[in-house]
Structure formats: structure tokens, C-alpha cells
Structure 1
Amino acid sequence: MSTPHSPTPGGPEITASIVICTHRRPELLGACLDSLIGQRMGPWAGGGSPGLVHEILVIDNSALAEGRPVVESRQAAFALRGVPLRHVLEARPGVSFARNRGVAEAAGALIAFIDDDERAGDGWLERLLEPFQRLGDAVDIVAGEVEPDFGALPRPDWLADDMMHFFSCRWGWDSEARFLRETEWFGEGNCAFRKRLMAGRSFPTDLGRKGDGLLTNEGIIFMEMRSEGAATYYVPSATVSHLIHPDRLTRRWLMRRMFYQGVSNRLTQRRYGVAEQRWDFNVNLAKLADVDVETLEGENLRAMIRLYYQLGYASALAMN
């Protein structure tokens, strides 16, 4: 495992930094922080030496800094547990700017990401970071599982299991911990990695969410790492719950989501010189506009999802 270090000379050593990127969602941020209060590194952390072993950084991606009072109201509770909690303002809009700032501010040799609309399950941090100790240099990245949280609403009948990936949930690669295969992916909202992997790298700021936009794929940086040999370990028991906002529980939102996934994928392929896909399809936009997507079910819904993805992919040609 990487050697922990102190953010200040003579201060306690910090092994891992938990980074939360947030944007104008103070209530969700509060719930996320509350889920972290009881988290521990595990008995192996710090080699048994006293002192701090992890910190929490909240990277506030809003010039209004709505997250500051949320952080300040909880700093004392974390301090009682020996965990420093810091608020860092990153006013440049975009989750990639926030992630890059989190990496730059992190004192730990290990960095763990959790999103502001997620809550950590019991034992999350210990389970997520344990492979770094047990497997040593054989592991570079660890990914956990994400469970959907529908809040007070029931899960919609039309939302099938194979559509959960579109909501960044349920990777479902295995019931046991193991190394991921090259074709198996994970989400940025529940992962940990060695900070040294970021040397010379940064999350691409032309990709990823900005405000209410739906561009994605800033996590392509992890694909870069893996293509260069970074071994990724999957721990299904390191779970977080992801709140699915009620506004997203519509087929219409899903169509918009898939359109921008198509845009994001083509921009990513162009950026990295990957061969682009070609499809032959004709779309009558007037007829498409008349389709009530909220009535679609089963294979008809899946066909519409594919169509909106293809439309976004084709539209990316006109985007810079």
C-alpha cells in the first residue's frame, strides 16, 4: 500500500482522501456526509499508529457555495472522530473541473470518489479500500456497486433491470469480489484509485456534466489508466445508494439522457482517435415528434432508446 503522508509538517498522517463533488444540492450533500460519519478505514489502516487516516474534501462546483454551510455544520462531528472535513470552492463549471480540483487538494495517496446524490452503505470505506492493503501493488483501482434509491416513489414498471445502467446503477458483474475484465466498466461515483495514477493526467473538461447538462464520459480517464495496465478490482459489497431524482423517472428524460450519451461517446471517440461507428437509418422528425414516448413498453421502448442514442451520436458531428 502507498505510504500515507501528512498535509501539514508534523501533523497526523492521511492515507486516503474521500472526494465529494457537489453542485447546488445542499440537502443531498448533507445526507451524503451523514452517511460518512461512521465510516472507517479498517484495522489495517495507518499500520496501527495513532492519528488521522482519512480526510473528506467537498468540492463545491457553484460560485454561490451552497455547500459551505452544510460542511461547516458537520465539521465538529467529524473532528470528534478524528476526520478533517474541508470545503473547497471550484467555481469553474463542470464536474471535470471539480474532480481535478479534488485530486489536486487530496493529501492521501488513495483517493475515493462518492457523489453528492449518493449515500455510503455500512462499511463502505473499509470494503472499498481493503484490496489495496490485501493485494498491494497488484491493484490500482477499486470499484464498488451502486444501488438505486427511488426515494418516496415506487420504481416505475417500465424501468427494466437492463436499463439501470442508464441511471449509473447496478453494474452487477459478480456476487464475489474479483478483478474486472477489460470490457467491464464502473462509475466514477463509487471508486478508489492511487493518486499517482493521475500524474500527467486530468479529467477532460470538455466532457462530463455541467450544471443541468447531460454530457458525460469524464471517466474516460480510467479507461486510459486501464489501457496502460492499471488493474481494477470489483467489490460488490462496497455499496452506495444513488438517489434517482423524481424528474428523471420518466421515459422522456431517459430519451434525453441517451441522446447526450450518444453525443458524449462520439466526442470521446473523436478526442482519442477511436474509429467512429456508422449506421444507416432514416428518421422522419415530424413523426418522431408525434410519438408519445411515455406510452412505450418493452422492446418498443428499447428501440426508441437506441434511436435517441444514434441521433445524439450523429448530432455530435456538428458540435465542437
Structure 2
Amino acid sequence: MNLFEPVGAPPVTASVVVCVYTEKRWADIVAAVESVAAQDVRPLETIVVVDHNPALLDRAREAFPELVVVANAHKQGLSGARNTAVELAKGEVVVFLDDDASARPGWLRALLEPYADPAVAGVGGVAHPRFPGGRPVMLPGDALSDHGTGELDWVVGCTYTGQPTAQAEVRNLMGCNMSLRAEVFKRVGGFAEDIGRIGKNPLGCEETELCIRARQAYRADGRDIKILFEPRAAVDHRVSEDRVEWAYLRRRSWAEGLSKAAVSKLVGQGDALSTERGYVATVLPRAVLREVRAGRPASAAAVVVCLGFTTAGYVRGKLPGATAHVSLPAANGA
């Protein structure tokens, strides 16, 4: 069986997973699937998991007869959908691409090549934001940056200032563009289904929790694993209009705090916040200073608002009896 194009096969086979939940993203879903098919490396299979939406399931099966299209067999939400795919995947590596992201040429090859090192357990890549207009004021970015990132781009699921610009080891991968060896799931289980996104609910961090849990489990067995960030593996991530509003910034920041609190309860505060400490201490202050000096007080305020709501969410999530599904408190517009 010819699994790959004859231009040098990567060291592992791959199952590419696209999880979907709403027909409103149909054009995005088609673009995501087509971007996988256009890669110079062919995956062993592409799996589309539909999250508790029978109408969308029928439409996807009709549109993609050559793909594996299945319903989420677990709890509703992105984690359950991903776990469904993991159970079905036949590839040595399971690759996850968001339903509103399109892979750039060379994406899959760049993700898979590092697996030639047997110590590499996971590889993730860059997500470039595709805004509905220009960069919004509430997501400031350094105009001088060669990489086009902003300090708060994680709010919209994209690569943010402070992440590596060359291949490097990282604590965790970013969900819209990531891959993990299938053996990792066999060793430590799947994504935690009590945290993470459900529909438009902007909770997250299930990828962070899984990566930390995997590293802790392998270390307990006397084996160190590598989780890599590979900037050559790039996707374009569409940002919808509702995500470039102040209300979404506050809601997403609050949810991030709640999610980080939930992760810290599962894997310990030290590992859960190891990356965030440096980000808060160095990246955010530089952003505020730059925006103030440039005469952009609203953008500087966005950084402060984001940090404030994230911190408040984390504190709320750490309270006894708190869950990751606490509603966002009312707030005035910024």
C-alpha cells in the first residue's frame, strides 16, 4: 500500500483527526479536509468526528465518502470527540486539526519528521490568525515582529508572542495544530472530558493537562519524553467576528483561569503554571509598555483586562467546590 507520496516518507504513519460540531462551519470544515488532502504526505486515514449532531453527521458522510466519518461516542465536547478518534485511529501518530483551520503546504510532513527521534512523544505547530478585518485593538501585536504574533493571540486559539520561533521543547501543545504518538494514549489514557470546550463554551486546557500527565507518567517509569513545537508546521486559523469583541476577551480569559485551576487540581500547580509564570512576568509587561509608548491605551488596557480576568477565574476555580463550568460574572464593557 502506498501511504505517502514518493518524495521521502516520514518515519511514522499518521491518522489526521478533524472534530466538528456545527453546520455553521461547513465551509471551514470543507477547507480543513481539503487542506489535508492537498498535503505532499498522505495520512493513513482522515477521521472526521461529529459531536452529537445527527444532521451534520449525515451531511459529512455524504460529502466525504472516502473518509472515516463517525459520531462522538463519548461525552459531548471536544475532548470526547477526540477520544472517539483516538480509539479508532490506526496510525502510529494521531494528528489533530481544528475544523476552522486550514493546513499550509508541508504542514503534515513538518509535524511527522521529528518522530524519527523515538524520544519525541508529541509535536505541535504554528497557528496564524485569519482575522475578519485587521488585527483588533483588543489583541495587540508587535508590528515589528517577523512572526506576526500578538501577546494575547492564545485567546483566539493561535500562536502568541512568547512561544518559540524555532523548533524547541515545550510543556504542552496547542489544540488546533498538534500530534501525539498513539502509544501515549495507550499509556496514559485520553483527554480529560470534564475540562475543555463544549460548543461555544470557551473553556480549554485539556491539551495542557494531557501533555503534563504524559510527561509525569513516563518520568515515573524512568523515561523522559520530548514534546516539541515545530514552527514549520503551520495552519491558518479563522477567527470569527464574535471573537474580536471585548466581551469575548473577558469571557475567554475568565474561562482560561477556571481551566488552569482545574488542571492544577489534576496534575499539580507547579507543572500547571510553569509556562504561565514567565509569560506573566516578562511578555505581558513588555506588551503594556510598548502599547502605552505607541499611544495605544486601549490595547494596553486589553492586556491588563485579560490578565485580571484570567487571575480572577483561576482564584474562583481554586475555591472549594468550584468546577470549570462556573459562569462568567457580569462585567462592564472595556
* TM-score where L is the length of structure 1: 0.76
Aligned positions of 1:1-320 closer than 5 A: 15-24=13-22, 25-41=25-41, 54-75=44-65, 84-90=66-72, 92-132=75-115, 135-151=116-132, 153-160=133-140, 161-171=150-160, 173-176=163-166, 178-182=167-171, 185-199=172-186, 200-219=188-207, 220-227=209-216, 228=219, 229-274=224-269, 297-316=298-317, 317=319, 318-320=321-323
| Secondary structure at 2:54 match in 1 | coil
| Secondary structure at 2:151 match in 1 | helix
Contact 1:148 1:241 in 2 (8 A): yes
Contact 2:170 2:229 in 1 (8 A): no
Q: Give the equivalent residue in structure 2 for 1:9.
A: none
Q: Which amino acid aligns with 2:63?
A: S
Q: 1:115 to 1:71 in 2, by over 3 A?
A: farther
Q: Give the equivalent residue in structure 1 for 2:8.
A: none
CA distance in 1, matches of 2:258, 2:72: 26
Q: 1:72 to 1:130 in 2, by over 3 A?
A: farther
Report the CA distance between 1:273 and its aligned residue.
4.1
Gaps of at least 5 residues in structure 1 are 6-13, 43-52, 76-83, 278-294
Q: Which amino acid aligns with 1:23?
A: Y
Percent identical pairs in the alignment equals 26
CA distance in 2, matches of 1:246, 1:168: 14
CA distance in 2, matches of 1:136, 1:33: 28
Q: Give the equivalent residue in structure 2 for 1:290.
A: none
Report the CA distance between 1:27 and its aligned residue.
2.4
What CA deviation, in whole Å up to 9, does each residue of 1:111-139 have, x standing for no partner? 1110101001011111111222xx33132
Gaps of at least 5 residues in structure 2 are 4-11, 141-149, 274-295, 324-334
Report the CA distance between 1:255 and its aligned residue.
0.5
| Larger gyration radius, structure 1 or structure 2 | 1
Q: Which amino acid aligns with 1:62?
A: H
CA distance in 1, matches of 2:63, 2:170: 42
* TM-score where L is the length of structure 2: 0.73
CA distance in 2, matches of 1:232, 1:143: 8
CA distance in 1, matches of 2:169, 2:201: 30
Contact 2:19 2:48 in 1 (8 A): yes
What CA deviation, in whole Å up to 9, does each residue of 1:128-164 have, x standing for no partner? 11222xx33132211111100114x222134212111
